[in-house]
Chain A
Amino acid sequence: MALSRDEIMEKVREALVDALGMDEDEVIPTARIGADLGAESIDYLDIVFRLEKAFNIKIPRGDLFPDNILTSEEFVQNKKLTEKGLAELKARMPYADLAKFEQNPNVDDIADLFTVDMIVRYVEAKLSSAAA
């Protein structure tokens, strides 16, 4: 059952359209789930359940959308991530594109990392590790 990236994208798009009531053409890879697609707190859980069903995978709490990851002082100083904080974030979100975020790691911008493309890469990683 090896899905291509396009097939994964299609199913991710469907899950997002169903969860967020968007039009298909609004769900582009670079779209941010929160800022661009309008997702609110309850929507993230809706998305998780739909992805679990669509791909027959298990997504533990905080695995796809880490919430409250960086609450301790060694990770966050003055609302920015420290070196340790960045390392922790990378470990928790290996499928996220952190290049731009790294240049100005504001805690408040973490939500912008949750893009459609990030979800596709997460699912890809989950499916290939399940197959292995």
Chain B
Amino acid sequence: MRWIWIDKFIAFEHGRRAVSIKNVSLAEEHLHDHFPGYPIHPPTLMIEGMAQTGGVLVGEAFDFREKVVLAKVSRATFHCHVVPGDQLRLEATVVGEIRPEGALIEGRITRNGDLVAEIQMMFAHLDQSRAPLELGEENFVFTEDFIRMLRMRQLNHLEPPSAEHGS
């Protein structure tokens, strides 16, 4: 099981808003434990998908130089069950602006236009927020692998949000 809970970005507005897609597939291992015979995509992994969407949005604002991590989930509310075959649309919007101290993100997850979840979360830089241990220089949050897998170098070449399809 990889720790990537979104599949691609479909819209990106530097410092303001990002939209990603997550496909839910029977090929994913965790669904067979959650639950046996009746797979439901775990709400906590939807929070992670939003954290990855918002995290890229906040991280990109610092050119991926900072280790941006989830510091708080103010509230996450889930309205319906997500099952294999569903395609989720995760939209993260910055509340106010991204500050050096951190950012508040308003997140909305939909499936075919239906509201699945509303999530508000905060990000901060790792060095400031948690008890830092032997943190090295390299940015292990935004590694080249992660950036390449999510095609993050092309974010700013995505079509502007108004031209986004399937929304």
CB of B123 to closest CB in A, whole Å: 10
Name B71's closest neighbour in chain A (CB-CB). Answer: A42
Instruction: Decide yes or no whether A73 CB sits under 8 A from chain B.
Output: no
Name A40's closest neighbour in chain B (CB-CB). Answer: B72
Interface size on A, residues (CB 8 A): 12
Q: Assess the B72–A46 pair: CB atoms within 8 A.
A: yes
Contact of B101 among A43, A50, A53, A61 (CB under 8 A): A61
* Interface bracket on B: 10 to 19
Residues on A with C-beta less than 8 A from B72 are: 42-43, 46
Interface residue ranges of B111-125 to A (CB < 8 Å): 120, 122, 124
Instruction: Decide yes or no whether B129 CB sits under 8 A from chain A.
Output: yes
The distance in angstroms between the C-alpha atoms of A74 and B95, with both chains bound, is: 38
Residues on B with C-beta less than 8 A from A42 are: 71-72, 102, 122, 124, 129
Q: Assess the A53–B124 pair: CB atoms within 8 A.
A: no
Q: Assess the B75–A21 pair: CB atoms within 8 A.
A: yes
Name B102's closest neighbour in chain A (CB-CB). Answer: A45
Among B71, B102, B104, B129: residue with most chain A CB under 10 A: B104
- Assuming the A-B contacts A50-B95, A52-B96, are A45 and B75 also in contact, with contact meaning beta carbons closer than 8 angstroms in the complex? no
CB of B132 to closest CB in A, whole Å: 15
Task: Tell me the interface secondary structure of chain B in the complex.
Answer: strand
Task: Tell me the interface secondary structure of chain A in the complex.
Answer: helix
The distance in angstroms between the C-alpha atoms of A125 and B95, with both chains bound, is: 23
Name A41's closest neighbour in chain B (CB-CB). Answer: B129
Instruction: Decide yes or no whether B74 CB sits under 8 A from chain A.
Output: yes
The distance in angstroms between the C-alpha atoms of A21 and B120, with both chains bound, is: 12
Among A19, A45, A49, A52: residue with most chain B CB under 10 A: A49
7 contacts between A and B (CB under 8 A): A18-B120, A21-B74, A42-B71, A45-B99, A45-B101, A53-B95, A61-B101
Given A42-B124, A42-B129, A46-B74, 18 more A-B residue pairs with CB atoms under 8 Å apart are A18-B74, A18-B75, A18-B120, A19-B74, A42-B72, A42-B102, A45-B102, A45-B104, A46-B72, A46-B104, A49-B95, A49-B96, A49-B104, A50-B95, A50-B104, A52-B95, A53-B96, A61-B101
